[in-house]
Structure 1
Amino acid sequence: MSGRHAHPSAVGATGERVPALRRWLRAHRLAGLIVPHADEHQSEFIPACAERLRWLTGFSGSAGTAVILAEQAALFVDGRYTVQATAEVDPGLFEIRHSITQPLCHWLEAHLPPRGRLGYDPWLHTERQAKALEEACARASGRTVAVAVNPLDTLWTDRPPAPMAAIDILGDAETGQSALDKRTHIAATLRQAGEDAAILNAPDSIAWLLNIRGGDVSYTPVALAFAILHADGAVALFVDPRKLTPAVVRHLGAGVALEPPEALAAALDRLGANRKTVRIDPDGTPFAIVRRLRQAGARLSIGTDPCVLPKAIKNTVEQAGIRSAHVRDGAALTRFLAWLDGRASTGCLDEVTAAERLAAFRAADSRYRGPSFPTISAAGPHGAIVHYRPTAASNRRLALGTLYLVDSGGQYSDGTTDVTRTVAIGSPSADMRRHFTLVLKGHIALATVRFPKGTTGAQLDALARHALWQQGLDYDHGTGHGVGCYLSVHEGPQRISKLPNSAALAAGMVVSNEPGYYRRDSYGIRIENLVLVQPAPAPAGAELELLAFETLTLAPIDRALIDPGLLSSAEIGWLDAYHARVAKVLTPLLDAATADWLRAVTCPLTPERQERLSGAVRNG
């Protein structure tokens, strides 16, 4: 089947929904509406009731924004989703544009009619986003209008209810620090900054701070809630009481006041009435909250969510749990790869069956809590769709002579994983091997770098692209993202990307190492391991404090796709050492047949090196 597939029900539905929205806009004298993939918490993974963009357009990706005008409409997505959006969205209704090279604001300047009033939901945009929209509209001689009620919530008659999953407790033995200690520490940073309180609207920040987890959204174990952290360490938690059990109430203790979500507005008004200085995160706080605080008289302090950095720097207990989770996850993935190797040559496997089998291997772990994101199980040309997700309509067989890319991860009670492997189904072509080896060279360059304390991911990104760049190739996504500890698979502030980023990599941070290459309509290649930032031994004469990456992910890399002639001896040495470690650590967790398979696929890359190692063993 072709990689260009649409969801028939979505396309048919959007054909009715877009005209209905336009009728609403005319009735309310609006020229258009902005519809982002967002909820009130600015989360990546959002509950079903917040999937307004998907309901309207059919686009199922985790990042995108649509703008609907009276006669025109466009969907803006980044490089991860351009192919997917083309497949899922009706081109007769929406123009597909690249959000980086063809930004929304430029489109608005060109298409918003003079004096046009553009509607937006202030709960789904930050103040910074709202200001960018306002400035774009002004350049088109129009203006923005914050709608009191999102019209899609009115038109979406069968909209799912808000989630009500029960909150769970994560013990100090797993977190390494009590919630009281965290509250005390973060409150001290507020006092040092001269702030009276901070607004917490990111569910993973609240989960980390209070040592709780939830089940309100898929893939990320959080409860949807808002919180106000005061400078004395007290917290007001605004959460539906139906999510609370007596045990959770006891765990939260007297320092956490429990309020229903509808009490948030009055609490914001009190902060303003008392002229409190309140920290808001410009990249995460909904404009609706910022506007209410400002109107109430609060003094606003612009700063990063105070939980973001301490959450990203894992303590020793969290690091130990993450390592343990990766060992067990690596064993599950290795069982899957061995199973795949034994059946792929039959030509009977398909993307959905493979993804289901991988999920079953992971589910055998008693600490497994579910996937950390939708599994990307992509055969052949589907691998070139960076965030492809197989469906019954798109399901493709793993055909001989093609590549299969599987990007998946698990949520475990002691850690979060994210790993990508690309494997050859049958004999790969010379181009496949060349491209794979170029990606591997970038992966190794990043895995082995030592860098001064204070270095950002933006300064390291070129290392992963260098080999590709020399051949006139590249990939249109970031090289690395932060990963939480039994929390969000995508977290900040760190990242490795071409995009500027002021957050320095610090010891204790987990980040992905995932360069790739994508040949449209042919195949995709990505090699992803998670790595942990650690202090590096200082060489003689060093004048700087150095950091390095400890590779956490343990799973074999397909040697059939490697052209050894393109690798240096040092690169081959890294691969052989990595495979030796994979075999040593995982073999005790595997059955005999899988252990034999692993031993075969992790032997040294070149016969000459294997002979030298064997001789060293015989003589040692």
Structure 2
Amino acid sequence: MFQTFHETARPEQGPPRLKALRGELAREGLDGFIVPRADAHQGEYVAPHDDRLAWLTGFTGSAGYCVALRDVAGVFVDGRYRVQVKAQVASDYTPVDWPETGLAEWIAPKLPGGGAVGIDPWLFSVDQARGLEERLAGIELRRCENLVDRIWEDQPAPPMGAVFAQPVELAGEAHGDKIARLARTFGADTCILTLPDSIAWLLNIRGSDIPRNPVPHGFALLHADATVTLFMDARKLEGLGDHLGAAVILRDPSEFPQALAALRGTVRLDPASCPVAVRETLIACEVTEAQDPCLIPKARKNAAELEGTRAAHLRDGAAMVRFLAWLDRQAPGSLTEIDVVTTLEGCRAATNALRDISFETIAGAGPNGAIVHYRVTEGTNRPVREGELLLVDSGGQYVDGTTDITRTVAVGEVGGEECANFTRVLKGMIALSRLRFPAGLAGRDIDVLARAALWEAGLDYGHGTGHGVGAYLSVHEGPARIARTGTVPFEPGMILSNEPGFYREGAYGIRIENLIAVEEAPPLAGQVVPRMLRFETLTWVPIDRRLIVTALLTAAERDWLDAYHAEVLERIAPLVEGDDATWLEAACAPL
């Protein structure tokens, strides 16, 4: 269970693989090659077949690049992975803080005489390739065959997971109606769809090509006549002919480039996610660049999707309570991180409704909690010791909804610094939970509220405060997010995470996460703002009161927490019994 593909990408294997890649550079006459963590579908998560960055470097984070030049190789990682990358890559690779340092800005000084750097054009979006070319003055960005694939002798096969229908009572709208609705509004003869979750949402299908994410690999052309050409291996779609219907024409994925070259008229594509190879194949049509038309409708969950998500969170909340109650009954030092992960996943499986976990469970004890996206392996497994914090970030994929929750708990008595910083993180989470705000605001407008209490103490965290979440789809879903870079306005029905944190490298990590849904806020007496929004809380699991410094909370924050715990008790108590119910009542007691 814990010996995964990623463990075949150990640090000591990086240098010989880098040497082999440089041999291919010489054969191609290239000065460098860029390896992104990406696939041709430009989703966030990749199948083992496409996990080239991990195979080459050993770095297993969910975002990043390697720029392999002839005499230096940089591994570009964002703030979530600054600690992790140091442990995962050999000294032949240089960690680079990204996006503070861009790829082009790092490459250009190292090739002062110009040169050529290769990319696989299926692994870079139109925007990414265009941005690199604009900044790589005097350096050619050359499209070429993927050089990592040449040297990866035991590369896994492309995924062939089965596809199945998502019932309309859970999807909330028939896929034929979605197709017709979008066909009337996307403004071209044809729209190219490459994102797996967009295609899954549009056609009310789910798949199993990506671990933990119920999406299938494929491409699609949405036509103005309300038909869809779906490029997906027919073996995945066995038995779905009646579901898809006559409006969906199935073609083999190998025919996709030929179909692109044959397109005429006006064609819409999303430059943020469409591979540059697709754009450069459109030779006889007028191209319009605009956002994937599925993104906003998919993010704005309808009533059926919201109701399903609420049901999934109650089920998941009960599983989490059983887990936390079990955890509290164990003697400090008697468990390892793997014990924690195994038991928590077992609690979810015991619901008999779990399709999969929604991502690899994070259980970081002590200093491992400071690794934001830590994944325990048999090699890193650590005891959960007395006096430490345990950070557990996990979630479930249920047919009616996707969950994602983080709780940080005390193992025995922990230090005053940890409690103070836990309370500061909690204040940020509460600030967003209580917020009313004018319609039209985006994540960058409210992110500061989650950080203010930490900033007052000179502290911060290096990740966004919240990401979008799908309805039995990807646990990370765009386009809205709560972050300094979040520019998409919030709309009712959007589901987001609310997860501020703090991490003391080598010591501990803290994160508290609930999922929230945007909803209309009822008007206040004398309100002059025409329309306001607020967040509905979806996650119902106790927050560890032992870590709260009550004096640091305002009266309003204490009231919110007491009301939250009272509602947790009301909603979850009927779903648990015995010692678990007793534990829940104590955990939800007022401050």
Q: Same fold (TM over 0.5)?
A: yes
Which residue does the alignment assign to 1:16? 16
Residue 327 of structure 1 deviates from its aligned partner by 0.3
Check if 1:433 corresponds to 2:429.
Answer: no
Which residue does the alignment assign to 1:249? 241
Distance 1:112 1:53 in 2: 23
Residue 136 of structure 1 deviates from its aligned partner by 3.1
Q: Find the partner of 2:325 among 332, 338, 342.
A: 338
Residue 133 of structure 1 deviates from its aligned partner by 2.1
Aligned residues: 585
CA displacement, residues 14-57 of structure 1 (integer Å, 9 cap, x when unaligned) = 12111111011101100010000000011111111001111100
Q: Find the partner of 1:466 among 446, 452, 458.
A: 452
Which residue does the alignment assign to 1:175? 171
CA displacement, residues 375-410 of structure 1 (integer Å, 9 cap, x when unaligned) = 111000111111111111111111001100000011
Q: 2:90 corresponds to which letter in structure 1?
A: D
Which residue does the alignment assign to 2:267? 278
Give 1:47-196 correspondences, 5 Å limit: 47-91=47-91, 93-138=92-137, 141-147=138-144, 149-190=145-186, 193=187, 195-196=188-189
Distance 1:406 1:498 in 2: 25
Distance 2:304 2:134 in 1: 47
Q: Find the partner of 1:213 among 206, 219, 242.
A: 206
Distance 1:132 1:87 in 2: 31
Q: Find the partner of 1:589 among 558, 570, 575.
A: 575
Give 1:509-588 correspondences, 5 Å limit: 509-543=494-528, 544-588=530-574
Q: What SS class does the counterpart of residue 144 from structure 1 fall into?
A: strand
Distance 2:203 2:381 in 1: 41
- When the two structures are superposed, what TM-score results if normalisation uses the length of structure 1? 0.93
Which residue does the alignment assign to 1:266? 258
CA displacement, residues 435-472 of structure 1 (integer Å, 9 cap, x when unaligned) = 00000111100000000111111101001011111111
Q: What SS class does the counterpart of residue 257 from structure 1 fall into?
A: strand
Distance 2:346 2:49 in 1: 28
Distance 1:9 1:199 in 2: 34
Distance 2:193 2:53 in 1: 25
Q: Which runs of 4+ in 1 moved over 4 A?
A: 6-9
Distance 1:261 1:445 in 2: 47
Which residue does the alignment assign to 2:379? 393
Q: 2:516 corresponds to which letter in structure 1?
A: V
Q: Find the partner of 1:493 among 472, 479, 485.
A: 479
Distance 1:146 1:323 in 2: 46
Distance 1:283 1:366 in 2: 38
Distance 2:493 2:126 in 1: 31
Give 1:302-451 correspondences, 5 Å limit: 302-343=289-330, 345-451=331-437
Tell me if the contact between 1:374 and 1:408 (Cα under 8 Å) persists in the aligned partners: yes
Tell me if the contact between 2:332 and 2:412 (Cα under 8 Å) persists in the aligned partners: no
Tell me if the contact between 2:9 and 2:57 (Cα under 8 Å) persists in the aligned partners: no
Which residue does the alignment assign to 1:30? 30
Q: 2:301 corresponds to which letter in structure 1?
A: K
Tell me if the contact between 1:45 and 1:219 (Cα under 8 Å) persists in the aligned partners: no
Residue 9 of structure 1 deviates from its aligned partner by 5.9
Over the matched positions of the two proteins, sequence identity in percent amounts to 49
Bigger Cα displacement from structure 2, 110-119 vs 50-59: 110-119
Which residue does the alignment assign to 1:610? none
Structure 2: 5+ residue stretches without partners: 1-5
Structure 1: 5+ residue stretches without partners: 1-5, 606-620
Residue 512 of structure 1 deviates from its aligned partner by 0.6
Q: What SS class does the counterpart of residue 314 from structure 1 fall into?
A: coil
Q: What SS class does the counterpart of residue 133 from structure 1 fall into?
A: helix
CA displacement, residues 156-176 of structure 1 (integer Å, 9 cap, x when unaligned) = 110111111111011111111
Q: 2:58 corresponds to which letter in structure 1?
A: G
Which residue does the alignment assign to 2:487? 502
Distance 1:13 1:428 in 2: 39
Q: What SS class does the counterpart of residue 344 from structure 2 fall into?
A: helix
Q: 1:172 corresponds to which letter in structure 2?
A: V
Distance 1:112 1:66 in 2: 16
Distance 2:416 2:358 in 1: 34
Distance 1:368 1:480 in 2: 24
Q: What SS class does the counterpart of residue 271 from structure 2 fall into?
A: coil
Residue 593 of structure 1 deviates from its aligned partner by 1.0
Check if 1:287 corresponds to 2:276.
Answer: yes
CA displacement, residues 543-596 of structure 1 (integer Å, 9 cap, x when unaligned) = 221110011001000000000000011100000000011111111110221001
Distance 1:517 1:86 in 2: 19
Which residue does the alignment assign to 1:235? 228
Residue 132 of structure 1 deviates from its aligned partner by 2.2
Distance 1:166 1:382 in 2: 36
- When the two structures are superposed, what TM-score results if normalisation uses the length of structure 2? 0.98
CA displacement, residues 151-192 of structure 1 (integer Å, 9 cap, x when unaligned) = 1111111011111111101111111100001001111112xx
